[in-house]
Amino acid sequence: MADSWETLKLLADPTRVRILSLLGVEELSVAELQEVLEMGQSRISSHLALLRQGELVIDRREGKKTFYALNEGLAKAQRGLADAARRAVERSDQVKEDRMQLSRILEKRKEQATAYFNSVAGRLSKDYCPGRTWEGIGNFLLHFVPSIRVVDLGAGEGLLSQLLARRAASVVCIDNSRRMVEVGSELAAKNGFTNLSYQLGDIESVPLDDGCMDLALLSQALHHAERPQLAVEEAGRVLVSGGRVVILDLLQHDFEQARELYADRWLGFSENKLYEFLKNSGFRKIEITVVSREAEAPHFQTVLATGLKP
């Protein structure tokens, strides 16, 4: 650990005090410090090495760049000396000039980011964006789920329901596969969900009372139903007045192999057909939107349909 004598020696150099003054405002790279101080890289790097050795600054790598910041964990005595040195020069013409140049550098940072987003405006949602995944977005949005009663019809293992259960008052998963119900129940127990349950049942004859749910989900389940219209009607039956149904399914396609590969009964549905299902089931305020298209053949498209029970 550096002692006060070593710290005083480091602070005796005006350039090092100027660097500390700048780092007191913002974490900066070597190149940015060069531009503000108008000095060569080797000179700046030498001063930074001494400051790091004296524990006055810390550094971190970000790709090919190294950024420097004040060491917030500095011992009280050394921190007091460094703060006193910065305060002593903060009104000097040199430091005022440094701050003005720093403002310019920070504005340049913002302009670089702005220039990028200006260049991709109109196609950002279509292009690859690191970290932007539907899974991530879904988890983010699920934090806004109110405390409601949810039924997941044709839930399978209930991945969506496992997420909804974190916020919802209760979630009931209905599936006609005994093994799916077993696996889902095991997952619910493993994750400690006491408000999530699984029941064996048919989405065309849901084993629930009338008007007991606030939200009914049919996520990639409707195209497995023998009678989709009846499944949508059942969703409406178990909803309270003002409840909502949400259907996420495939848009109508002609990939016949889906029948054998995925046990699909229907090759998706047109937007008009989904509207018909919802309208005939008594739903109002119907909204239908194609929300995604897969990049690889057969280019399945996903459609989202919602309706409100009067």
DSSP string, 173-225: EEES-HHHHHHHHHHHHHTT-SSEEEEE-BTTB-SS-TT-EEEEEEES-GGG-
Please say whether the beta carbons of 299 and 288 come within 8 A.
no
Q: How far is CA 260 from the centre of its chain?
A: 35
271 and 140 in a single domain? The answer is yes
Pair 153, 186 in one domain: yes
Q: Which two tokens stand for residue 284?
A: 């109002």
Q: Are residues 113 and 76 in the same domain?
A: yes
Which pLDDT does position 109 carry in this prediction?
80
The whole-angstrom separation of Cα 120 and Cα 128 is: 11
Split into its structural domains, the chain has a count of 2
Q: Tell me whether residue 40 is in a domain.
A: yes
Characterize the bridge pairing of strands 170-175 and 301-308. Answer: unpaired
Which pTM value belongs to this model? Answer: 0.61
Amino acid 260: pLDDT: 87
Lowest mean pLDDT among 58-62, 132-136, 214-218, 290-294: 132-136
Residue 196, domain CATH: 3.40.50.150
Please report whether residue 169 resides in a domain: yes
Work out the number of other CB atoms within 10 angstroms of the CB of residue 55. Answer: 18
Quote the domain boundaries for residue 203. Answer: 134-308
With beta carbons less than 8 A apart as the criterion, state whether 216 and 164 touch.
no
Instruction: Check whether 151 has a pLDDT greater than 70.
Output: yes
Looking at residue 1, what is its pLDDT? 60
Q: How confident is the model at residue 126 (pLDDT cuts 50, 70, 90)?
A: low
Question: Quick one: pLDDT at residue 195?
Answer: 95
